[in-house]
């Protein structure tokens, strides 16, 4: 679908000639001239402006009435005034109106200090009120859901939250009831507002009417620091800002990146994090002693791990979980291949994929990016359930359907003839076709044929030639793509390069070999096979039989509690340093926002543990800092060549879009 190509125009605002893209709304155009027009209801993320709050009134020469800057597209030659007496009076009037029923309980309001209503009152308000009647009073705060409190006194009826529910998440649970000055935000008949993305309304609210219950009274804006990072709880890898106080993450906010998350977060990403700081965290190394895992010194744990691995030698297998960074995966692969001489490592859940298929699927020309989903003529969701597999895409797909008339289709690869049939009609709405598929398509006996079919369909639609078309895979693990590219595969090295030696066993093969006694040790990098991998029974036996199980983990899950011999505490994403790769090939950077757990932050980082274990196996990995690990990774993967952490920065870099992008 053709995407809007902005033309630059010149208009005049407050006497200043300013260039701006044509047809953007005046409030946005004004920013090009450093002029701020105050807004409450305007939020471009929510779709078309509604012009409800009337805060953004400006004067436009040639038009009698004041106009709402939020809904007036800028045109060449327009002459706009935001500082005239008329505009000032109107702005002051709107602020006065909004405050007549606002309780002004800022001292006890969580929004205080980061409140648009405070800021706009200060910047554009009249400074006093002539309203002397009693204000409205409600019982407050009330629970709107288990995580959100509503304070109806503070609500200024900007409609943002209801618009989110209607037009973005389309759950239609949060609405306005009643009419006029009686209007209030509510759900139906006392039902809670529970929906996968409900927490976004807290961030949308421009006053303290919707607040986060977990964050309630936890901090003031001046007590906290913001730290940008990336949520790695699922493959969406939404960009986040972490609110940190006293070295603890108290809150997770969206950090808008249109190419990743469009500025939204799912409730898991938003509300699960603070739980990660809970008492359950593993903060010290543990080793099994008399059947029980007991805390020991780092020295003893490293020693125990190394000696177990040394005993097993090439009879060691390794599994990396989706939370691991590319650097950790890369170092793990070196540890296995170079330190132990074992080729048996995997990061995929779906079993080995022949290397040529793997490479064909990763062809840069075939890769769709996230924004392609929105502008595609049609999207086929294949073997995937976005809300489960990569929640934030649910919103992106809805946006495509709602705003760009994208056709959304669903299919399963179980019935390949039917899929091929459907594929024939895929192009009928337009050539920009994106197929969003899940790693599970490649699994099982049907996997190779399904993969082959997918590639054929892509070829039949000439996806590699059409810029807006392509394939987008949702890997099972959050950083599934990054780990594969780092070489955590039984049949490929870094950058999907061919191995000199024979390929190793995949995850299932490792389990079978452990049971058969062909493998003896297992290295689990942030993975508990009982939780994450299919065939629990198989893994139950495999873990039982393994002579040494070394794990990096944040929590003691069942499999580890019963079977691990050595457990190293691993970092949560907010403590981590390194890179992950988004499903569309965007390298994103994790930056530690808080210290690692343990006394005085004594816990070692994942890469450090790997390096120390390696050195006890007489392998010098050559990493003394996290960024050295990144450098090694960038040097090893051909299509990352020349990349630096600075280049990745806060927004990430899609390697396919870099100069050095080459088909491996």
- Interaction site with another protein (CB under 8 A): 49-55, 57, 65-66, 68, 71, 89-90, 93-94, 96-98, 100-101, 130-131, 133-139, 142-146, 152, 156-157, 159, 166, 171-184, 186-195
For the CA atoms of the chain, what is the radius of gyration? 27
Rounded to 5°, the CA angle 618-619-622 comes to 135
3-state secondary structure of 556: coil
Q: Which does 182 bind (CB under 5 to 8 A by kind): another protein, ligand FES, none?
A: another protein
51 belongs to the binding site for ligand FES (CB under 6 A): yes
> Minimum CB separation from ligand FES for residue 17, in Å?
24
Nearer residue to ligand FES within complex by CB, 63 or 459? 63
Q: Which does 56 bind (CB under 5 to 8 A by kind): ligand FES, another protein, none?
A: ligand FES
In what helix (H) or strand (E) does residue 83 lie, and over which residues does it extend?
Answer: none
3-state secondary structure of 464: coil
94 belongs to the binding site for ligand FES (CB under 6 A): no
68 belongs to the binding site for ligand FES (CB under 6 A): yes
Nearer residue to another protein within complex by CB, 213 or 497? 213
> Minimum CB separation from another protein for residue 65, in Å?
5
Q: Which of 652, 330, 641 is nearest to 484 (CA)?
A: 330
Among 53, 174, 433, 604, binds ligand FES (CB under 6 A): 53
Q: Which does 131 bind (CB under 5 to 8 A by kind): ligand FES, another protein, none?
A: another protein
Among 9, 29, 55, 435, binds ligand FES (CB under 6 A): 55
Q: 471-497 burial string, b = 16+ CB within 10 Å, else e?
A: bbbbbbbbbbbbbbbbbbbbbbbbbbe
> Minimum CB separation from another protein for residue 132, in Å?
8
Q: Which residue is nearest to ligand FES (CB)?
A: 70
* Number of residues in the chain: 664
Nearer residue to another protein within complex by CB, 9 or 53? 53
Rounded Cα distance, 350 and 361, in Å: 15
How many beta carbons lie within 10 A of that of residue 445, not counting itself? 8
3-state secondary structure of 80: strand
Please list, in sequence order, all residues whose beta carbon lies within 8 angstroms of the beta carbon of residue 627, skipping any fewer than 6 positions away. Answer: 577, 645
Q: Which does 143 bind (CB under 5 to 8 A by kind): ligand FES, another protein, none?
A: another protein
Rounded Cα distance, 317 and 542, in Å: 11
Structural tokens at position 239: 């960009």
Query: Going edge to edge, which strands form the sheet with 142-143?
Result: 142-143, 148-150, 210-212
Q: Which does 307 bind (CB under 5 to 8 A by kind): another protein, ligand FES, none?
A: none
Nearer residue to another protein within complex by CB, 65 or 599? 65
Q: How many residues in the shown chain lie near ligand FES by CB under 6 A?
A: 12
Nearer residue to another protein within complex by CB, 183 or 256? 183
Rounded Cα distance, 591 and 575, in Å: 7
3-state secondary structure of 11: strand
Nearer residue to another protein within complex by CB, 176 or 296? 176
Nearer residue to another protein within complex by CB, 178 or 292? 178
Nearer residue to ligand FES within complex by CB, 161 or 392? 161
* Torsion over CA: 519, 522, 528, 533 (sign): negative
> Minimum CB separation from another protein for residue 269, in Å?
19
Nearer residue to another protein within complex by CB, 152 or 591? 152
Q: Which does 39 bind (CB under 5 to 8 A by kind): another protein, ligand FES, none?
A: ligand FES
31 belongs to the binding site for ligand FES (CB under 6 A): no
How many beta carbons lie within 10 A of that of residue 183, not counting itself? 14
Rounded Cα distance, 439 and 352, in Å: 11
Nearer residue to another protein within complex by CB, 25 or 301? 25
> Minimum CB separation from another protein for residue 134, in Å?
5
> Minimum CB separation from ligand FES for residue 67, in Å?
9
Which stretch, 33-41, 208-216, 496-504, 515-523, contacts ligand FES (CB under 6 A)? 33-41
How many beta carbons lie within 10 A of that of residue 343, not counting itself? 20
Among 39, 90, 250, 507, binds ligand FES (CB under 6 A): 39
Query: Going edge to edge, which strands form the sheet with 248-254?
Result: 225-230, 239-245, 248-254
Rounded Cα distance, 165 and 494, in Å: 43
Rounded Cα distance, 235 and 474, in Å: 7
41 belongs to the binding site for ligand FES (CB under 6 A): yes
* Torsion over CA: 261, 266, 271, 272 (sign): negative
Among 30, 70, 318, 360, binds ligand FES (CB under 6 A): 70
Residues at the interface with ligand FES (CB under 6 A): 39-42, 51-56, 68, 70
């Amino acid at each position: 679908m053709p995407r809007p190509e902005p033309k630059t125009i010149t208009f005049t605002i407050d006497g200043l000639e300013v260039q701006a893209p044509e047809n953007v709304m005046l409030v946005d155009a004004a920013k090009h001239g450093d002029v701020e027009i105050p807004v409450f209801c305007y939020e471009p993320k929510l779709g078309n402006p509604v012009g409800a709050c009337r805060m953004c009134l400006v004067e436009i020469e040639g038009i009698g009435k004041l106009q709402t800057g939020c809904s007036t597209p800028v045109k060449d030659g327009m002459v706009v005034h935001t500082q005239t007496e008329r505009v000032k009076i109107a702005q002051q009037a709107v602020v006065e109106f909004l405050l007549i029923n606002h309780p002004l309980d800022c001292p006890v309001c969580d929004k205080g200090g980061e409140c648009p209503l405070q800021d706009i009152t200060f910047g554009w308000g009249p400074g006093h009120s002539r309203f002397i009647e009693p204000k409205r009073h409600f019982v407050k705060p009330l629970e709107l859901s288990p995580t959100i409190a509503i304070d109806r006194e503070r609500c200024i009826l900007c409609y943002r939250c209801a618009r989110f529910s209607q037009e973005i998440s389309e759950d239609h649970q949060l609405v306005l009831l009643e009419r006029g000055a009686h209007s209030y935000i509510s759900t139906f008949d006392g039902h809670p507002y529970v929906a996968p993305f409900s927490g976004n309304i807290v961030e949308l609210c421009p006053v303290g009417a919707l607040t986060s219950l977990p964050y309630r009274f936890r901090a003031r804006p001046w007590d906290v620091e913001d730290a940008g990072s990336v949520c790695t709880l699922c493959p969406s890898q939404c960009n986040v800002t972490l609110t940190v106080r006293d070295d603890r993450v108290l809150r997770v906010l969206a950090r808008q990146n249109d190419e990743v998350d469009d500025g939204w977060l799912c409730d898991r990403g938003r509300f699960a994090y603070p739980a990660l700081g809970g008492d359950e965290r593993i903060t010290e190394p543990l080793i099994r002693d008399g059947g029980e895992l007991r805390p020991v010194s780092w020295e003893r744990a490293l020693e125990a791990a190394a000696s177990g691995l040394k005993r097993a030698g090439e009879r060691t297998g390794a599994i990396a979980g989706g939370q691991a960074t590319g650097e950790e995966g890369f170092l793990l692969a070196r540890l296995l291949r170079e330190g132990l001489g074992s080729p048996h490592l995997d990061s995929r859940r779906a079993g080995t994929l022949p290397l040529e298929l793997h490479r064909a699927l990763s062809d840069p020309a075939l890769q769709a990016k996230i924004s392609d989903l929105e502008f595609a003529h049609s999207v086929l969701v294949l073997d995937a359930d976005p809300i489960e597999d990569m929640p934030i895409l649910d919103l992106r797909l809805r946006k495509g359907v709602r705003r760009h008339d994208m056709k959304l289709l669903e299919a399963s690869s179980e019935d390949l003839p039917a899929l091929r049939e459907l594929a024939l009609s895929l192009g009928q709405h337009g050539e920009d076709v994106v197929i969003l598929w899940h790693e599970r398509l490649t699994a099982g006996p049907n996997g190779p044929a399904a993969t082959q079919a997918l590639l054929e369909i892509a070829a039949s639609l000439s996806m590699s030639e059409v810029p807006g078309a392509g394939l987008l895979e949702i890997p099972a693990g959050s950083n599934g793509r990054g780990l594969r590219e780092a070489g955590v595969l039984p049949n490929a090295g870094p950058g999907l390069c061919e191995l000199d030696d024979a390929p190793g066993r995949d995850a299932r093969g490792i389990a079978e070999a452990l049971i058969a006694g062909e493998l003896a040790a297992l290295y689990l990098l942030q993975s508990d096979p009982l939780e994450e991998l299919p065939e629990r029974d198989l893994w139950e036996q495999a873990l039982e039989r393994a002579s040494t199980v070394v794990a990096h983990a944040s929590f003691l899950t069942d499999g580890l509690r019963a079977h691990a011999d050595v457990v190293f505490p691993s970092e949560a994403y907010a403590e981590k340093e390194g890179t992950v790769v988004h499903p569309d090939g965007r390298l994103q950077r994790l930056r530690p926002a808080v210290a690692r757990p343990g006394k005085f932050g004594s816990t070692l980082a994942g890469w450090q543990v790997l390096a120390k274990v390696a050195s006890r196996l007489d392998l010098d990995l050559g990493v003394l800092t996290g960024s050295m690990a990144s450098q090694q990774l960038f040097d090893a993967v051909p299509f990352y060549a020349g990349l630096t952490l600075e280049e990745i920065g806060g927004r990430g870099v899609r390697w396919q879009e870099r100069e050095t992008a080459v088909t491996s």
